[in-house]
Amino acid sequence: MPLDADALAWDKQGGLLPAVVQDADTLRVLMLGYMDRQALETTRETGRVTFYSRSRQRLWTKGESSGHVLELVSVEADCDDDTLLVLARPQGPTCHLQRPSCFAAAPEAFLLELDAIVARRERERPAGSYTTKLFEQGVRRIAQKVGEEGVETALAAVAQDDDALLGESADLLYHLVVLLRARGLSLRDALAVLERRHRG
């Protein structure tokens, strides 16, 4: 459902709501900021995450000086309507210490990060990239690689040590992510099918 700004509990904390920002691709928590009505409105209008700075007493758009903006994907309220969850795509480090997250040990789903990296490779096609080479060879070749890696993974499981099995499994997962992207799909799409099966 679309977020109704008028339904939010602005009066609870003096017109400000905490806003937890999470990477839309890796699910890593990036930072915590505060939004007033105008910051929320600006965020939704511009597509760039904007906060209310309590120390400077003004609006500030993340990355306004560094260029490391947060591109808005979605924003939703919690069950009490007094906290916001912002999903965004960071354009560079979020933390002023040049880290991806303001929380140094914030966990992430690396497989989802890999999916995002592969998506960028598909769009940008950097020269010399193995992923670019795969995309240029087409779906049939990528599918063949998935088949080869699947067989090698199965053989490693019955005839080799754990390190070999893990290595082949990593190769299989990578090529599967590339194959999905080559078909216009994502790993998240496949995970959604698993989730539906689990809940269904």
| Domain layout of the chain by residue ranges | 5-90, 110-199
Q: What is the pLDDT of residues 1-24, one digit of tens each?
A: 689 999 999 999 899 999 999 999
Rg (CA), the chain: 21
Q: What is the pLDDT of residues 128-145, one digit of tens each?
A: 999 999 999 999 999 999
pTM of the model: 0.77
Q: What is the pLDDT of residues 158-184, one digit of tens each?
A: 999 999 999 999 999 999 999 999 999
Pick the CATH number of 110-199 from 1.10.10.10, 1.10.12.10, 3.40.50.620, 1.10.287.1080: 1.10.287.1080
Q: How would you classify residue 23: left for phi > 0, otherwise alpha for psi between -120 and 50, otherwise beta? A: beta
Cβ burial 142-170 (10 Å sphere, 16+ → b, else e)? beebbeebeebbeebeeeeeeeebeebee
**CATH number 3.40.50.970 is the correct assignment for the domain at 5-90:** no
